[in-house]
Structure 1
Amino acid sequence: MLYLTLVVAFIASILLTPLVKRFAFRIGAVDRPNYRKVHARIMPRLGGLAIFGSFLIAYLFLQPKDPVSAAFESSLIPIETAIIIGAFLIIVTGVLDDMLEITAKAKMLGQLAAAGVVVIGGGLEISFINLPFGGVLDFGYFSIPLTIIWIVGITNAINLIDGLDGLAAGVSTVALLTLTAMAFIMGDIFVMSTAAILAASSIGFLFYNFHPAKIFMGDTGALFLGFMISVLALMGFKNVTVVALIIPIIMLGVPISDTFFAIVRRVREKKSISEADKSHLHHCLLNIGFSHSQTVLIIYGISALFGLAALLFSQATLWGGILLIGVMLLAIELFVEVVGLAGKNYRPLINLVRMIGK
């Protein structure tokens, strides 16, 4: 049944995207070129509507439920219902921004409302974690704010990397496939099915969104994917050990690290953390000479490595996990240094990477 549902999601996404493209042009939901963007012509946005529509069709077709993962003690409504309501609020927020370019405060309000529905209405919250060397850390009254911060943070992290054709959709797909595999290992049917359906919808959209893109997902798609990934990651790793709680952070290593460095950069330069710039990872790779497609594929590869690391981490012992984290932090530091050096004088290094890519 799940395999058929994935086919439904994939085909629905392929069929809906051209319709959404025409609709975006008709209502004026388009992205115009400027100094910060890499495209040179007016592009339709709202592509996220196709992802959401195909996901919703397949989700209602399968209606995934799992009493172990979906029944939370403090819920006011079923978590499945809360997720759909929250996703709808996120979609409305994204559509308004793609059409009218609403303020950052207005977008944040929509994200907080969506997160609040899932956390307060659905009862999804990080209430405690088991410490690795014994004992329990109970978050108490901070559990709801911390959970909302996680959801809003990951939602915006996906949105921030949406700077190149197919980038956010591809990175999200890698994260969703990783989440699907981990949920399968853990026996979490609800998370596995929902993540797989969303991945199939994203893959269908990539047929129109990969370079050269025919349509952008816009904030509608980026916020929706970020919201769903953040919620599903929490559902898969709720009330667990510190080590297990690190798994979704590793899995989302690319958007989280890019967002972290963006915040540090803007604070250091005494700018607002919400102010856009051209210093994200994809901008840096473009600046040192990689093509549009090469840059996207490189980041896909990095995302896949993070996903593999998350899978290994989930099966590792405590000390093995600590060692893996150390190796990953070292690798991230080396990558940042290599990118910085390549941008200055290491053109042979760029040529070598291009040869390997071919």
Structure 2
Amino acid sequence: MLIITAIVCFLASIGLTPIVKKLAISIGAVDKPNHRKVHQRIMPRLGGLAIFISMVIGFLIARPVDDEISTWAILIGATIIVITGILDDRFEISPKLKLLGQILAASVVIYGGVQVPIINLPFEVTINLGYFSIPFTLLWIVGITNAINLIDGLDGLAAGVSSIVLITIASMALFMGNMFAVVISVILLASTLGFLIYNFHPAKIFMGDTGALLLGFMISVISILGFKSIAVYSLLLPVIILGVPISDTFYAIIRRIVNKKPLSAPDKSHLHHCLLRLGFSHRQTVLIIYAMSAFFGIAAIVLSRSTLWVATLIIAVVLFVVQLVAERVGLVSENYQPMLRFFRKIVAHGKRSA
């Protein structure tokens, strides 16, 4: 049944995307080139609407059920997010209004039972969030929603990275026997892949905030559903799976603090911008970031099957690689290379000693 549902969602997305493209052009929901944009011509956005409608079709066919979670709350929250995205794609609403829509959508799913009540840490440390469960869950959903939105800067980037994340979450949820998370992940994955056919470089349509906010919102919710019962590293697993958008957002915050700019200030120094400046083509940049996302996904899967000490080693390696890549591509700035400078000093000292 799940395979049939996935096929229907995939085909629905393929069929709906050209229709949404015509709709976007007719209502003026288009993306115009500017100094921050990579594309050089006016492009229709709103493509996320095709993903959303296909996802809803999948929900109606599969009817995923969890005794503790309201499926309708997830759909209503997703609808609020999509409406927020549509308004932004058409009218470019203010960041405050976008944030309000995200908070409202998150509040609906939290009310429907999607919460992080406890956090399991290494060495059998468990933190019971109690009353802080609601604000923590709210922060997680809004944070991941915006993290996916921030990486939506190249053809097929957000859709492809989100697909890799969904494959990872679905695989791990299947290992854990969490079929509710598996079904929702597969439905969203199939809907996204259908759209990606039109969105991969050279793109015929952008997903816009309608799609980026929807994918970020749904992934944040599914990541909570998929790992709510795991005993070890329950917080770290989704963080590692979402390593690409989270690290890009983290370094964007550091970059703006270092450069004394507002956190909401847009710039052209995200991961994909940095790779393009290094000389990689549009398609190469997207594929490199896909590979990075797959690396994080594999690390998370290995982590979930490892002993405590092996898992700790994996986390250390992941953090090392993230920092190395950030310094090498200039995510904060071209001069921000503390770790590389440290290694250069060691090498220089070794040469002098020899």
What SS does the corresponding residue of 2:167 show, helix, strand or coil?
A: helix
- Please say if 1:325 is aligned against 2:315: yes
Match of 1:187 in 2: 177
1:222 corresponding residue in structure 2: 212
Which among 108, 130, 133 is matched to residue 99 of structure 2?
108
Q: Secondary structure of the equivalent of 1:273?
A: coil
Aligned counterpart, 1:355: none
Is the 1:180–1:192 contact (alpha carbons within 8 Å) kept by the matching residues of 2? yes
Aligned counterpart, 2:256: 266
- d(CA) in 2 for partners of 1:108 and 1:242? 32
Q: Contact 2:46 / 2:210 at 8 angstroms: preserved in 1?
A: yes
Deviation at 1:269?
A: 1.3
153, 156, 163: which one aligns with 2:153 = 163
Query: Quick check: 2:47–2:208 contact (8 Å CA) kept in 1?
Result: yes
Q: Does 2:192 correspond to 1:202?
A: yes
Counterpart selection for 2:140 from 125, 137, 150? 150
* Distance in 2 between residues matched to 1:134 and 1:180, nearest whole Å: 26
Letter in 2 for 1:133: F
Aligned to 1:82: 73
| One-letter amino acid matched to 1:194 | I
Matches within 5 A, 1:37-56: 37-56=37-56
Partners of 1:159 and 1:58 in 2: CA distance: 23
CA distance in 1 between partners of 2:230 and 2:58 (Å): 30
Quick one: structure 1 residues 181 and 313, their matched pair in 2 at CA, closer, same or farther if it must change by over 3 Å? Answer: same
Query: In 1, are the aligned partners of 2:81 and 2:105 still within 8 Å (CA)?
Result: yes
Cα deviations by residue, 1:244-269 (Å, 9 ceiling, x for unpaired): 32100000000000000001111111
Asked if the contact 1:59/1:197 (under 8 Å) is kept, the reply is: yes
Contact in 2 for aligned 1:129/1:240 (Cα 8 Å): no
Equivalent position of 2:348 in the other structure:
none
Q: Distance in 1 between matches of 2:85 and 2:274?
A: 27
Structure 2: distance between partners of 1:195 and 1:8: 15
TM-fit CA distance, 1:338: 2.9
Structure 1 stretch 263-272 or stretch 298-307: which is displaced more? 263-272
Number of equivalences: 333
C-alpha distance in structure 2 between counterparts of 1:320 and 1:338, whole Å:
27
CA distance change for structure 1 residues 134 and 183 in 2, over 3 Å: closer, same or farther?
A: closer
* Contact kept? 1:174, 1:303, Cα under 8 Å: yes
Taking structure 2 as the reference length, the TM-score comes to 0.91
Counterpart residue identity of residue 107, structure 2: G
Q: Could you tell me which residue of structure 2 aligns to residue 353 of structure 1?
A: none
TM-score by length of 1: 0.90
Q: Match of 2:302? A: 312
DSSP-derived class of the 1:214 partner: coil
Confirm or deny: 8 A CA contact 1:91 1:223 kept in the other structure: yes
Please list, as runs of the form range in 1=range in 2, the aligned pairs for 1:238-317 lying within 5 A after superposition: 238=228, 240-241=230-231, 243-317=233-307
Distance in 2 between the 1:161 and 1:131 partners? 29
Deviation at 1:71, TM superposition (A): 2.7
1:30 corresponds to? 30
Distance (whole Å) between structure 1 residues aligned to residue 72 and residue 130 of structure 2: 25
Q: Note the C-alpha offset of 1:271.
A: 1.2
Tell me the alpha carbon deviations over residues 154-210 of structure 1, each in whole angstroms, 9 at most, x when there is no partner: 000000000000000000000001011011100111100110111111111011000
Displacement, 1:307?
0.5
Residue 128 of structure 1 pairs with residue 118 of structure 2: yes
**2:151, 2:248 within 8 Å by CA — same for their partners in 1?**
yes
Structure 2: which 5+ residue stretches go unaligned?
336-354
CA–CA distance in structure 2, aligned partners of residues 311 and 148 of structure 1: 26
Percent sequence identity over aligned pairs:
60
Q: Tell me, in whole angstroms, the C-alpha distance in 1 between the residues paired with 2:156 and 2:121.
A: 39
CA contact under 8 A between 1:129 and 1:239: conserved in structure 2?
no
1:109 partner letter = L
Mark the CA change 1:128 to 1:86 in structure 2 (over 3 Å): closer, same or farther. Answer: same
Could you say if the C-alpha distance between residues 135 and 277 of structure 1 is closer, same or farther in structure 2, counting changes exceeding 3 Å?
closer
Q: 2:233 aligns to what SS in structure 1?
A: helix
Letter in 1 for 2:15: L
Aligned to 1:351: none
Shift of 1:132: 3.2
> Are 1:173 and 1:202, in contact at CA under 8 Å, matched by a contact in 2?
yes
Aligned to 1:11: 11
